[in-house]
Amino acid sequence: CAGTTNRVAGYLDTLGVVYAEAGRFKEAIRATERAVACALAAGDKALATRIESRLEPYRAGRAYSVVPGGAGP
C-alpha cells in the first residue's frame, strides 16, 4: 500500500482483511475506512458500500469471512 500512497481502495480493503485475520482490528478498521474514502473519492459508490460492509464485523472483533458460494458476511 505504501507504494500506492495508500490511495487504491482495493489494496486498502485487502490490507484491512489481513489485519482482521491477524486480530488487529483497530488497524483493520483504519485501513477499511481509508478504503471507503478512496472508493468514494474515485466515484465508486458501489465499491465503497461493499467495503464498508466489512466494518461491522471488525468493530465486533470478528474477521471478514466469505461463505461458500460467494456470499459475504
Handedness of CA 66, 61, 46, 38 (dihedral sign): negative
**pLDDT tens profile 27-66:** 999 999 999 999 999 999 999 999 999 999 999 999 987 6
| Residue 12 · residue 35 · CB < 8 Å | yes
Q: pLDDT grade, residue 70 (50/70/90)?
A: low
| Residue 8 · residue 44 · CB < 8 Å | no
| Residue 19 · residue 28 · CB < 8 Å | yes
pTM attached to this predicted model? 0.81
